[in-house]
Amino acid sequence: MARVGRPRAATEANVQSWTIKETAALLRISTRTVERLVGAGALESYRVGRAVRIWARSVLAYQEGHRLEPTPAD
C-alpha cells in the first residue's frame, strides 16, 4: 500500500483536488473529520466512482473562513 504524503501547495497549477486522506494530511485532522466536513457541506467535493475528491479551492476557502484573528495584548 502506498503511503500518502502531504499534498503539494494549492497554489501550484497542477493541484485541483485531493483525496480525503490527502486533505486530512494537509489540514492535520483525521479522515473522519474530513468526511464530516464533506457531509456537512463545509468542503465541496465530488465523486469519481466510489472515491471522493475535495476541491483545493474549497479547502483554501475553509481555511480562510476559520482564520483566527489576533487578539490585542493587554
CB 36 within 8 A of CB 20: no
Closest of 62, 67, 5, 70 to residue 34, by C-alpha: 62
Tell me the per-residue pLDDT of 25-54, one tens digit each, with 9 for 90 and over: 999 999 999 999 999 999 999 999 999 999
The domain spans of the chain are 17-65
H helices then E strands: how many in the chain?
3, 3
Tell me the per-residue pLDDT of 51-72, one tens digit each, with 9 for 90 and over: 999 999 999 999 999 888 888 8
pLDDT at 7: 59
pLDDT at 72: 83
* Residue 62 vs residues 32, 67, 72: alpha-carbon distances, Å: 17, 9, 24
Rounded average pLDDT over 10-24: 78
- Record the pTM: 0.72
